[in-house]
Amino acid sequence: MSIISQHFKESAASILDNAHLESQIEAAAKHIYASFEAGGKLLICGNGGSAADAQHLSSELLNRYKRERRELPGIALTTDGSTLTSIGNDYDYSQVFSKQVSALGRPGDVLLVITTSGNSANIARAVEVAHEKSVTVVALNGKAGGKLSPILGSDDIDIIVKGDVTARIQEVHGLIIHCICELIDIYELD
């Protein structure tokens, strides 16, 4: 079997192994959409490839996914290089997202964090500040949930993708993001 065939086979198996997340994904989409309907916004963050996923989701909401609909306020906290580097330099990298959540988050908003391990200090700190601001959290998590899962509240949604390979978890996160976008399109247009 070629390396390419093996990647496709492993990716397909990982996707099918996580199909049990359907109800959690639907709950996350409903919660995010309810926030939009109430005048709230979605703040999104992650590191590395998860930062790219945050930006991807933001663009699908601010512009459109598959259908023409109103612009929706999805804000990637990963895109402002000046803000990220000033917070990292003046304070600590663990605060690059939490300071933005503190400034931008309002009760009724949603913070969507994306992490393949659940162990990033800056993600955990953003969640703590979100709770202080009465911002609900949706976590696209991975592996066994890491340090993130225990700090999530009962109103939060923890979508833990099973697996040990970061690339496979990221692929499933991408699929979940597209499912959320599709559901939001349906809610908006129905």
Q: Is the pLDDT of residue 190 over 90?
A: no
Give DSSP secondary structure letters for 41-85: -EEEEESTHHHHHHHHHHHHHHT-SSS------EEETT--HHHHH
Residues 8-19 have a mean pLDDT of: 94
> What are the binding residues for Zn(2+)?
56, 60, 170, 178
The per-residue pLDDT for 1 is: 76
Pairing of strands 110-114, 74-76: unpaired
> What are the binding residues for substrate?
47-49, 60, 89-90, 115-117, 120, 170
Q: Is the pLDDT of residue 76 over 80?
A: yes
Write out pLDDT tens, residues 87-113: 999 999 999 999 999 999 999 999 999
Write out pLDDT tens, residues 48-57: 999 999 999 9
> What are the binding residues?
47-49, 56, 60, 89-90, 115-117, 120, 170, 178
Write out pLDDT tens, residues 130-154: 999 999 999 999 999 999 999 999 9
Helix (H, G, I), strand (E, B) or coil at 165: coil
Phi-psi region of 108 (alpha: psi -120 to 50; beta: other; left: phi over 0): left
* The model's pTM: 0.97
Domains and CATH numbers, the chain: 3-189 (3.40.50.10490)
